[in-house]
Amino acid sequence: MKFTLLIKRIFKSIALLPSVIALIFLILGIGINLIEYDYSQIEFLKALLIEDREKIQHILAYVIGGIFTLTIFSFTMVMNVINSNINLFSPRLVPLLLSEQHHKIVLGFTTGTIVYAMVLSIRASGYEEGYFSGIATALAVCFAITCVFLYIYFLHHISISIHINFILHKSFSRTQKNIEKYKALTSDFGLKRDMIECRYEILSGHCGYIQMHKVEECLELIEKLDTNVVFVKYPGEFVLENDVILKSSKELSADNIKELIKHIPIDKDVPMNVVETGFKHLVEVAVKASSPAINDPGTALSAIHYLTQLFIKRHFVSQEGVFSANEKHLLGSSILSNKMLFKICYQEMINYMTNDPVLVRALKHSSDKINHHTTTGDYIVPS
């Protein structure tokens, strides 16, 4: 179980993609001098061949020093953006910013160029004793030029990502996609979770946040185990050690329980692919923006608008469903009810926005909009 969690953390780490790209550059740097080839036979490459040892060493030294400086600047800027978002908005938004793939690609390419140039510089020091690729140094220069352009792109994107409107829309888009994914997963056989008879309790091994259920893998396993299973806790909910997280229709062996719990991972990190996480992020931004320290009602207003749209979309997702691969072995699941989630979110916001008549009016207008689009009267702002 611990090994599985370790593997998942490695795959979710910000360092994975840059490390893989840097490793590719390392292999390229070693391979280009292992495979001997006369590049002078190719006409358009003749002008790029550099064979003088001193020139090679000077060029590689400039490439390493220059790109190393760019990498430091890039890292510093990322840290400044993260620090700014923690201070002004919410520390919960940091995983959202770290998930940007192009930031990882830029970091990987720049570090990879440094690694490539270092490998060549080692080989160039013993150039007289063996073969040194004439095109290798020219490639290092090409990589360095590419790094400069990537750095310009990086500056552009960092300057955009620091704006709260960009962050709010990114959080909204991610939450909207999570709603659509869960909606596609849900199935209903006219049953409710409570109708599935399950009396054998399965306890959590440790405390943490329940990650999103792996429905397909769970269905395959319960079919193999010939049992029905019900999720007792919601995805994203924090569970304590030895809390009941599952119930089974038949008693399972210790090995079967371990195998089943693998598909309901419990981790220290709040799951970003759970719908409710996005709602919490927007509420936290709205609350912090409305505080006297920040005093940014415009940002709070934007967060309320996005929340309004998300509640309308979430209303049409089944809150309690039953999954089955063969309509015989059942998997019961549920999410936090819309009414309860609305109460939690708007109760927290109204507590901090009571003294701002514009934001109070916005909250009431938001609930009216949700009730209008969902044709219900369930969404009432707590007084």
Confidence of residue 173 (pLDDT cuts 50, 70, 90): very high
In this prediction, residue 133 carries a pLDDT of 75
Q: Which of 198-202, 326-330, 371-375 has the highest mean pLDDT?
A: 371-375
Mean pLDDT of the chain: 82
Task: Lowest mean pLDDT of 162-166, 225-229, 366-370, 371-375, name the range.
Answer: 162-166
Average pLDDT over residues 93-121: 81
Is the predicted pLDDT of residue 344 greater than 60, yes or no? yes
In this prediction, residue 146 carries a pLDDT of 92
Question: In angstroms, how far is CA 194 from the centroid of its own chain?
Answer: 33
Is the predicted pLDDT of residue 60 greater than 90, yes or no? no
Is the predicted pLDDT of residue 242 greater than 70, yes or no? yes
pTM of the model: 0.77
User: Six-digit token pair at 249?
Assistant: 């229709």
In this prediction, residue 365 carries a pLDDT of 94
In this prediction, residue 188 carries a pLDDT of 54
Task: Name the pairing type of β-strands 330-334 and 244-248.
Answer: unpaired
34 three-class SS: helix
For the chain, which domains are there?
14-162 (no CATH), 167-374 (3.90.1170.30)
Q: What type of residue is 131?
A: Y
Task: Lowest mean pLDDT of 42-46, 116-120, 295-299, 367-371, name the range.
Answer: 42-46
In this prediction, residue 283 carries a pLDDT of 92
Residue position matching structure tokens 């997963």? 185
Confidence of residue 260 (pLDDT cuts 50, 70, 90): confident
Is the predicted pLDDT of residue 30 greater than 80, yes or no? yes
Average pLDDT over residues 228-250: 86
Task: Lowest mean pLDDT of 195-209, 294-308, 346-360, name the range.
Answer: 195-209
**Number of neighbours of residue 374 by Cβ within 10 angstroms:** 16
In this prediction, residue 212 carries a pLDDT of 81
Is the predicted pLDDT of residue 3 greater than 70, yes or no? no
Task: Lowest mean pLDDT of 62-66, 210-214, 306-310, 346-350, name the range.
Answer: 210-214
**Are 90 and 300 within 8 A, CB to CB?**
no
Is the predicted pLDDT of residue 87 greater than 70, yes or no? no
Counting residues of the chain whose pLDDT is more than 70, the rounded percentage is 84
